[in-house]
Structure 1
Amino acid sequence: MKVIYPGSFDPVTYGHLDIIERCSKKFDYVIIAVLNNVSKKEFFTIDERIKLLEETTKEFRNVEIDSFSGLLADYAKEKKCSTMIRGLRAVSDYEYEMQMALVNKKLDPDIETLFMVSRSEYVYLSSSIVKEIALNGGSIDCFVPKIIEKSLKNKIRGGL
Structure 2
Amino acid sequence: MAHVLAVYPGTFDPITLGHEDVVLRATQLFDELIVAVAAGHHKKTLFSLDERIAMVRRAVQHYPQVRVESFSGLMRDFMVARGAKAMVRGLRAVTDFDYEFQLAGMNRHLMPEVETVFLTPSDKFQFISSTFVREIASLGGEVDKFVSADVQSCLQARLRRS
* Shorter-normalised TM range: over 0.9
* Structure 1 position 49 matched with structure 2 position 27: no
Q: Secondary structure at the match of 1:43?
A: coil
Q: TM-score, normalised by structure 1?
A: 0.97
Q: Distance in 2 between matches of 1:72 and 1:59?
A: 26
- Show the counterpart of 1:131: 134
CA contact (8 A) 2:87 2:114 kept: yes
Residue 123 (structure 1) shift: 1.3
Equivalences, count: 159
Correspondence for 1:7 among 5, 10, 24: 10
- Show the counterpart of 1:108: 111
Residue 154 (structure 1) shift: 0.4
Q: Secondary structure at the match of 1:26?
A: coil
Correspondence for 1:28 among 22, 26, 31: 31
Residue 82 (structure 1) shift: 2.6
Q: Distance in 2 between matches of 1:2 and 1:62?
A: 10
- Show the counterpart of 2:72: 69
Identity of aligned residues (%): 38
Q: Distance in 2 between matches of 1:55 and 1:117?
A: 22
Deviates more, 1:105-114 or 1:143-152: 105-114
- Show the counterpart of 2:122: 119
Q: Distance in 1 between matches of 2:13 and 2:99?
A: 18
Q: Distance in 2 between matches of 1:25 and 1:111?
A: 19
- Show the counterpart of 1:91: 94
Residue 25 (structure 1) shift: 2.1
Instruction: List gaps (5 residues or longer) in structure 1.
Output: none
Aligned-residue Cα RMSD (Å) equals 0.8
CA contact (8 A) 1:29 1:62 kept: yes
CA contact (8 A) 1:73 1:111 kept: no
Q: TM-score, normalised by structure 2?
A: 0.95
